[in-house]
């Protein structure tokens, strides 16, 4: 009970956050796909050969542990060397000095997908870069991807709906997956949207258009895809990393430290549903805007030149 009260108080003070695995990433992509203007949708169609952003959203997780793209594992997070929940902060110079982390990867793959570099890359390379962008703009909204402590909560063993898992897994998949029924659709989607990711995404788009969380344009960074610092890291992504770190401090670490023995399912899940909705919507809006800005710098390119 005490942890639930702390969580609700924290959510009143900071922007909400999210937890997602493959389904959550897919919904981020589906929301963004729906919100793309025609020029951006055309670019996506050209690069992905008809696949949607939702179709490719989880791809980056399938290549990060083995094979030629295993080096991308470190790009899914940016470890803040802080002391949560007592002192939480993401410092780009301290936490991603070489660019080999999430905020650097967003800048790198944005350059590869776009049309503003010294030369246009081959279509296959640009398509791969776009798939990384879709995934990483989802990852940067997951607050435990922005902490070094416990390897982002992987070392903290907790209980969710009576099942053991790590704190990181609670945020990645637990609050959406029915852990008592392996193979079933994620909990939120199964319980409220008939198991349909498309229906969930449509609900979130309707909420965005109805300004249920206020004007969604407030979620957009003033920094564009080409705006980077001296380390080559994306200035917009740094903003999002600072935001997610602040959220995780209160919404993830404070309740954990208050009662690490609690069951993080049930009441915790019920409190977090609106948080999950808000952040998936926010990530989808940001992704649509990001791709739109990339597309705006690209002239129509015949297929033979891609």
Number of domains in the chain: 1
Q: Which domain holds residue 110?
A: 2-305
**Closest alpha carbon to 261 in 158, 153, 150:** 158
Q: What is the pTM of this model?
A: 0.86
Question: Which range scores top for mean pLDDT: 136-140, 189-193, 270-274?
Answer: 136-140
pLDDT at 16 over 70: no
Q: Where residue 174 falls among pLDDT bands split at 50, 70, 90? A: low
Q: What is the pLDDT of residue 179?
A: 45
Range 222-240 average pLDDT: 97
Alpha helix ranges (H) inside 14-122: 22-35, 38-48, 53-56, 59-62, 92-95, 102-113
Q: What is the pLDDT of residue 9?
A: 37
In the structure encoding, which two tokens stand for residue 29, read together?
């992509």
What are the tens digits of pLDDT across the range 234-251?
999 999 999 999 988 988
What are the tens digits of pLDDT across the range 32-42?
999 999 999 99
Please tell me the distance from the alpha carbon of residue 243 to that of residue 235, in angstroms, as a whole number.
Answer: 13
Q: Any idea what the CATH number is for the domain that residue 103 is in? A: 1.10.575.10
Q: What is the pLDDT of residue 158?
A: 92
pLDDT at 59 over 50: yes
Q: What is the pLDDT of residue 20?
A: 63
What are the tens digits of pLDDT across the range 109-146?
999 999 877 778 999 999 999 999 999 999 998 888 99
Tell me if residue 27 falls in helix, strand or coil: helix
Considering the chain, what percentage of its residues have pLDDT values greater than 70?
84
């Amino acid at each position: 009970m005490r942890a639930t009260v702390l969580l609700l108080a924290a959510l009143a003070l900071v922007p909400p956050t999210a937890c997602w695995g493959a389904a959550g990433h897919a919904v981020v992509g589906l929301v963004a796909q729906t919100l793309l203007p025609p020029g951006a949708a055309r670019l996506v169609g050209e690069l992905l050969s008809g696949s949607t952003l939702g179709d490719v959203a989880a791809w980056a997780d399938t290549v990060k542990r083995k094979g030629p793209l295993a080096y991308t594992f470190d790009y899914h997070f940016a470890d803040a060397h802080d002391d949560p929940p007592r002192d939480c902060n993401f410092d780009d110079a301290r936490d991603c000095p070489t660019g080999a982390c999430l905020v650097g990867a967003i800048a790198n793959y944005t350059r590869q997908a776009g049309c503003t570099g010294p030369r246009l890359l081959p279509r296959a390379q640009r398509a791969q870069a776009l798939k990384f962008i879709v995934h990483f703009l989802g990852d940067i909204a997951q607050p435990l991807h922005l902490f070094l402590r416990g390897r982002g909560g992987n070392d903290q063993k907790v209980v969710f709906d009576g099942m053991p898992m790590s704190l990181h897994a609670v945020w990645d998949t637990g609050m959406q997956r029915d852990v008592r029924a392996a193979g079933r659709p994620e909990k939120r989607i199964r319980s409220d949207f008939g198991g349909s990711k498309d229906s969930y995404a449509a609900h979130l788009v309707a909420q965005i258009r109805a300004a249920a969380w206020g004007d969604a344009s407030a979620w957009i960074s003033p920094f564009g895809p080409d705006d980077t610092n001296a380390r080559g890291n994306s200035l917009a992504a740094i903003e999002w990393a600072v935001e997610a770190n602040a959220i995780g401090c209160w919404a993830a670490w404070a309740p954990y430290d208050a009662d690490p023995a609690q069951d993080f399912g049930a009441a915790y899940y019920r409190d977090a549903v609106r948080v999950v909705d808000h952040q998936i919507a926010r990530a989808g809006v940001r992704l649509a805007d990001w791709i739109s800005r990339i597309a705006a710098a690209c002239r129509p390119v015949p297929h033979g030149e891609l």
